[in-house]
Amino acid sequence: MKSLAIRYFYEVALKGSLSAASESLHVAVSAISRQISTLEQDVGSPLFLRSARGMVLTEAGDILLRHVRRSMLETDTVLESIAALRDAGLSPLRIACTQGLANEFVPSTLAHFGRLFPDIRFRIWVDSAEQATQRVESGEADIALTFSTTPTTPASPVKVLYARGAPALAVMSQDHPLARHRRLDIRDLADYPIALTGEQSSTFKLYQLASNMVGTWVEPKVYSNYAEALHAYVRDSQAILFASYISIFQRLKANRLVAIPLLNPEMHARTVQVQVMQGRMLPDVIEQFLSFSIRRLNETVLEAPV
């Protein structure tokens, strides 16, 4: 396929209209339109639905866009490998993660990996699980480290390299009346305040599902989109929050907290995942970071209370 037509297609797909692509590329709308039409003839299928509001990708266009993104990233990989031969600086390793993993696990992993590769640089986004996955899908991030309550399919634009169970534990002060229990049921928590992350978080969804299954719902005393605020609140009260062991293990002792497994199967219905773009050729340094991160995840998961 013609590189110029692909370039114009990519810009229109990103901008959503011929006029916006024209302004970005400094090329006449008519020239871009001709190239898109030629490209559609070459592939034998419309790539856009044209309307007064702009250009919307068809299913064929979406497939081509994913291919173009992979190709661009692979070109970057090759150029970085060549640059590395000249001891040139690497592009940042771009990671999207959810807040629970951003508190301790991800920064600690970066610090340890950075000792092995002193010249490496990182860029981190802290997102919802859906947003982290979307960043990998679009090529904006190289890796997503996230919690997921939904399975991926073979047709998914992201590939899950690692998935292990990450149940939500009941986290409370060491002085809490329930702190000495080995396991708890969601109904055991009914007499105590609940501290919960926002409605888009996986812990909220698990707690809501478990409560629905047993027919009880304790309205949270505190909601927050910032998990660390909940840690301090729970430490100094009889409130209970929910978190995976991976999210909380490095803070338990320092904050005088304990994490107790819950018997309700709904609180076990999620995994911690490592995701990359489906079909993408990854630079060697990213492959090494993936292996390093997965090894640390495995070590942490094996320590979790059951």
Q: What is the pLDDT of residues 31-59, one digit of tens each?
A: 888 888 888 888 888 989 888 778 888 98
For domain 90-160+276-303, the CATH architecture is 3-Layer(aba) Sandwich (3.40)
| CATH code for the structural domain at 169-268 | 3.40.190.290
Question: What's the pLDDT at 91?
Answer: 72
- The C-alpha atoms of residue 199 and residue 196 are separated, in whole angstroms, by 9
Q: 81: which residues sit within 8 A by CB, 6+ positions away?
A: 283, 284
Buried b (16+ CB within 10 A) or exposed e, 259-271: bbbbebebbbbbb
Question: What's the pLDDT at 79?
Answer: 61
SS3 262: strand
**Strand ranges in 225-300 using DSSP code E only, listed in sequence order:** 240-243, 257-260, 271-277
CATH 3.40.190.10 residue ranges in the chain? 90-160+276-303
- The C-alpha atoms of residue 88 and residue 84 are separated, in whole angstroms, by 5
Buried b (16+ CB within 10 A) or exposed e, 120-136: bebebebbbbebbbbbb
Q: What is the pLDDT of residues 227-249, one digit of tens each?
A: 888 999 999 999 999 999 999 99
CATH 1.10.10.10 residue ranges in the chain? 3-66
CATH 3.40.190.290 residue ranges in the chain? 169-268
- The C-alpha atoms of residue 46 and residue 96 are separated, in whole angstroms, by 33
Question: What's the pLDDT at 80?
Answer: 61
Answer with the residue of higher pLDDT: 62 or 275: 275
What's the mean pLDDT when you consider all of the chain?
Answer: 88
Average pLDDT over residues 197-208: 89
Q: 137: which residues sit within 8 A by CB, 6+ positions away?
A: 66, 157, 158, 277
| CATH code for the structural domain at 3-66 | 1.10.10.10
Question: What's the pLDDT at 89?
Answer: 47
Q: What is the pLDDT of residues 3-31, one digit of tens each?
A: 788 888 888 888 888 888 888 888 888 88
State yes or no: pLDDT of 81 exceeds 60.
no
- For 249, the token pair is 């293990």
Question: What's the pLDDT at 167?
Answer: 94
- The C-alpha atoms of residue 288 and residue 118 are separated, in whole angstroms, by 14
- The secondary structure of 79-115 as a DSSP string is HHHHHHHTTPPPPPEEEEEEHHHHTTHHHHHHHHHHH
